[in-house]
Amino acid sequence: MTVILELMRYKNCAMAGLAAVIGAAIAYSAASGDILWILLVFVTVFLITGAGNAVNDYFDAAIDTINRPERPIPSGRIKRETAFRASIALFAAGIIVAYFTGKTLIPFFIAVFNSLLLFFYAFSLKRKVFIGNLTIAYLTGSTFLYGGAAYGQDGVRITLVLFFLSILAALAREIVKTVEDMEGDRKEGAVTLPIRIGERPAAYIASAVGVLAVVLSPLPYAMGLFNKYYLFAVGIADIVFLYAVLLILKKNPSASSKYFKVAMFFALVAFIAGSVLNRA
């Protein structure tokens, strides 16, 4: 069981689930519906995110022997076939839970679409120039959208701004990660953005997207979704984002990727603080 949780990258699953819960909580405060759906939102996103990570490891077993030899498959702690079967079971479970979530079938359709997208991302999309980065950025942002979708079209409308901000932050980090993984990707024949246009141009694009995310970060406050306490909390995230940008410009993609992840965590904390305090 422990190796399955590691295969799923359960911490990432929990963060994705929490992001979806934030979207659902914001939508719940502004729309009618069952509060139980918030729990179902978390479970769905946790399972489908874990499924996507598992199937990604299945298809990336060869690359991971170079880039991440400690992962469950290349380290020999789980067989590729077992990882694949686990991913299919997790996808199915997540979609079933999604069917019973929300006042409409919007969450179900998002869950099915995202599951298919995760599979095809792992199978081929991640090796397409920039398309793979955009795919993961969308999937990251869609967690907030999925949470809002539990409360119908009004919930989707309310969480759109969080969806777009998350896309920008995730896109910047995904580009940095492709810079970090250039050696393994090149050996496997993957054509990523830095391999196609060069490490420095890719770093500049990641930096520009990261800075844009910082510039637009006050939008939820301006739209009345969060109050002034959000601005303080997101300011901390913005500082870390800018530091991550500085690191990639200084040709340190490994450290930059880590700090982008830390910044995204603080942004999530800002969303929580803004959401809770806005209802207090």
CATH number, domain with residue 250: 1.10.357.140
Domain count, the chain: 1
Is it the case that residue 190 has pLDDT exceeding 80? Answer: no
Is it the case that residue 213 has pLDDT exceeding 70? Answer: yes
Tokens describing residue 113: 């679409």
Cα(54)–Cα(8) distance, integer angstroms:
5
Rounded alpha-carbon distances, angstroms, from residue 93 to 15, 84, 126, 189, 251? 19, 14, 24, 34, 42
Is it the case that residue 234 has pLDDT exceeding 90? Answer: yes
Quick one: pLDDT at residue 224?
Answer: 84
- The pTM (predicted TM-score) of the whole model is 0.86
Q: What is the CA 137 to chain-centroid distance, rounded?
A: 6
Cα(37)–Cα(25) distance, integer angstroms:
10
Task: Look at residue 1 and give its three-state secondary structure.
Answer: coil
Greatest C-alpha distance within the chain: 54
What does the DSSP 8-state code read for residue 101? S
CA quadruple 84, 167, 240, 244: dihedral positive or negative? positive
Which of 270, 240, 266 shows the shortest CA–CA distance to 255? Answer: 240
Select the more confidently predicted residue: 8 or 184: 8
* Confidence band for 75, pLDDT divided at 50, 70 and 90: confident
Q: In terms of residue numbers, what domain contains 231?
A: 2-279
Quick one: pLDDT at residue 226?
Answer: 84
Cα(26)–Cα(44) distance, integer angstroms:
18
Quick one: pLDDT at residue 30?
Answer: 66
Q: What is the rounded average pLDDT for all residues in the chain?
A: 90
* Confidence band for 124, pLDDT divided at 50, 70 and 90: confident
